[in-house]
Amino acid sequence: MTSPRLTSLSDVQGHVREPDDDQMRLECGVFGVWNAAEASAVTALGLHALQHRGQEACGIAAYDGQLFHTERHMGHVGEAFSGNDLMHRLPGRYAIGHTRYATAGASVIRNVQPMFADLEASGIAIAHNGNLTNFRALHAQLVTEGSIFQSTSDSEVILHLVARSRKGSMEARFIDALSKIEGGYALLALTNECLIGARDPLGIRPLVLGDLNGAYVLASETCALDMIGAKFVRDIEHGEVVVISGQRTIHSSRPFPAAQARPCLFEYVYFSRPDSVVNGRSVYDVRKRMGARLAQETGVPADVVVPVPDSGVPAALGFAQESGIPYELGIIRSHYMGRTFIQPSQGVRELGVRMKHSPNRQVLAGKRVVLIDDSVVRGTTSLKIVRMVREAGAKEIHFRSASPPIKWPDFYGIDMPDRDRLLAATKTMQEMKEMLEVDSLGFLSVDGLYWSMGVGQRDPVTPQFTDHYFTGDYPTRLLDREIAEGRNEPNERQLSLLVSA
């Protein structure tokens, strides 16, 4: 058979960026609860805490002991799951939920999760954070063998693999499906008998276990546990599958060969909420350490340290404390910019940055400003902010990034542009400085980021974290990408083994 050809990252991920888009989209958030009163209301609260991980769509699947009930909506959690009738719409003591940004599959309702299917033994709903790097290869073979897909999301592949498995129990069928997928993922599955949670073998995507008055909770981040008043129990380990059933029975297994954990560094740089604890590390503390190390590596005489809010705030605090330069809020962020705001012309789009960020002229005028942001992607938004600060009267602008230069795209759940559109991949430091119109430019080093994580330097042989966006060292095979670039053209028998092994 002929495998589908993919021509760009937007093809791999199923959508195309807007021309002026210069932000990394958040991945997705998953939340599940087993045997709790008003489970869907608890899930809605948990998803609200995870809203930062995906703001395009959300959904909840609940089980009342006899029937599954599902709702999926475009938009924010608060818009979709408010009202006193939620428990009437989604009854039961068992539920999972998902908040989404489309990193694989277009942004349409049929791609919104959780995805549900009726199997011969049970219904099953699945919520997935991450990306499968062999999705297209699996999808092509499943379609050839008769599978009918209702979406373009990579998550639906998992449902088909579970349905095709001939293993005896739902747990075994789920593990059988996991054995065929590659990439980064945190997965939740709800059946009429159990709640299943799984984390990819490298632990790229996070997943935690909590306790809500005797009910077990699974969530992408600890901030979701805090929102509902649940106690943190532990992280789900890399490659671990947990099955929660009965009143309070939890079974853990490690069905795949042991591997060294390599959690995603961008959870700490950008994605996770600062009040979360990810893999035992406070995100807030790590970001402050990043700022302190950035001051050590790229210090400059200045009058004021100013964060690009909100994600640059902890690093700016660390930079200010380490350097002794006063910290000030020189940029004020509006939290009320409408999600559906229409930008009808290029001129209006150019003003869009001012809807989110406004200069505090009293802080900036006549000052030598150290401007701290979490990262630089394409540089277009950074340039707009620099110009805004300059127009507010700043005498000098020294731009500092609290992460290393981003030089490589991601395929594990982060929406990054193709490599030829990443600023640091296409320009020298001097060229970036000139493009951003700043007096100086500095980035945190890769070893500095590892130091901020408390592990000293990066081990070049066995890196402790997933860091390919800085180093080009991808932690897994990228089968779909290899096929797209013509470097791997598996034959029909090889593809068949992907789904039948």
- What does the chain come to in residues? 501
Distance CA 75, CA 333 (A): 22
For 495, half-sphere exposure in the C-beta direction (CA atoms, 13 angstrom radius) is: 24
Tokens of 11: 């093809």
Instruction: Report how many helices (DSSP H) and strands (DSSP E) the chain contains, helices first.
Output: 21, 21
- To the query of whether residue 194 is one of the catalytic residues in this protein, the response is no
Check 28, 194, 223, 264 and give the catalytic one. Answer: 28
For 261, counting Cβ atoms within 10 Å of its Cβ (0-12 exposed, 13-18 middle, 19+ buried), the class is middle
Contacts of residue 386, defined as CB under 8 A and 6 or more positions apart, other chains included, come to 371, 397, 399, 436, 437, 438
3-state SS record for 298-355: HCCCCCEEEECCCCCHHHHHHHHHHHCCCECCCEEECCCCCCCCCCCCHHHHHCHHHH
Distance CA 316, CA 318 (A): 5
3-state SS record for 392-444: CCCCEEEEEECCCCCCCCCCCCCECCCHHHCHHHHCCHHHHHHHHCCCEEEEC
The answer to whether 153 and 173 are in contact (CB under 8 A) is: no
Distance between start and end Cα atoms, the chain? 19
Tokens of 239: 């490659």
Catalytic residues: 28
